[in-house]
Amino acid sequence: MRKICVIGGSRYFGKLLVQRLQAADHRVTVINRGSTSPPAGVEHLVADRNDDAALTDALSSRTFDVVVDQVCYTPVQAAIATRVFGGRTRRYVMTSTIEVYDPATAALTAVPVSVPMPEETVDPATWPVSTDLPWHDGTYLEAHYAEGKRQAEAVFTQAAGFEFASVRSAHVLGGGVQEFTGRLAHYVERIAQGKEITVHAEALPTVFIHYEELADLLLWATTATGFTGPVNACSDGLLGVRDLSAVVAAQTGRQPVYRTVARGETASPFSFDRHYAMSNARAKCLGFSFSRTADWLPGAVAEALATSAVPTI
């Protein structure tokens, strides 16, 4: 049994992670602002993670074996966490994102388009940090989401007094109504209603992960020992926007209607005009086994259909 603190963990795969930690007989503490209570038997601390003093007061004398940070978006938040949890935990796991590899948001090490990006493409040990940018501004943060994640990883890597690992998640699907981004629902509803899907002329493939598999990987990263640094989390198999649409079409009985966007025009989610795939080789070498996207995607589409208002065949 380990003492594990989860910051956030109130929805989607974070909520599932808390349930699985509890089911594995770990002593779980959840920290959030109080809007959502954790399951019975899970300790609940109410605090603003952006406030050093409030977070310190809420923790009191508590210490943990591992902290799992589901809601760290900026280097400022990471710096607060390193101060507050330094000396309180031996291991810290941060949920990160495939967006750190977006070449549209940073100058990255050149990787051939045919090669999924490995973790060293974005090295948090050397990534520059600027805590004086307006990270507190919601509009700025939304526009700089990828850079906020990169710099948060960098703060933990360069300054933390504990083991640090980041889980860079692929695009997450599954869960029906729980899938709060609405991106899969976008395809289900538009294809079922005969509405157009906007795509790039030469859309490049990307990678995905089922929300249950991501919870499994986070559980593994939380309880594993002997590895630090970033690890990519994606199911096996590249998938393009037309491949995804074909799976939806098979269950709606309607063929997708595509429109190619002009240069600079926004396309439907998961249509990318730039290299947007990552490698899961490191996680495999460390002992985690991934499923294939093609195996679970039809079920995720079925869940999205079941929770939508569109007719099915």
Give the helix/strand (H/E) hosting 219: helix 211-223
Task: Read off the pLDDT of residues 258-270 as tens digits, 9 standing for 90 and up.
Answer: 999 998 899 999 9
Please compute the mean of the pLDDT values over residues 119-139 and round it to a whole number: 95
Task: Read off the pLDDT of residues 33-65 as tens digits, 9 standing for 90 and up.
Answer: 887 888 889 999 999 999 999 999 999 999 999
Spatial separation of the C-alpha atoms in residues 167 and 94, rounded to whole Å: 6
Output the CA–CA distances (angstroms, integers) from residue 187 to 86, 192, 206, 212, 269, in the order listed.
44, 8, 16, 21, 9
Spatial separation of the C-alpha atoms in residues 39 and 14, rounded to whole Å: 12
Catalogue all structural domains in the chain, each as residue range(s) with its CATH number.
Answer: 3-177+207-236+278-291 (3.40.50.720)
Closest alpha carbon to 93 in 65, 68, 115: 68
For a pLDDT cut of 70, what percent of the chain falls above it? 97
Closest alpha carbon to 305 in 190, 208, 214, 211: 190
* Total-model pTM: 0.94
**Model pLDDT, residue 108:** 81
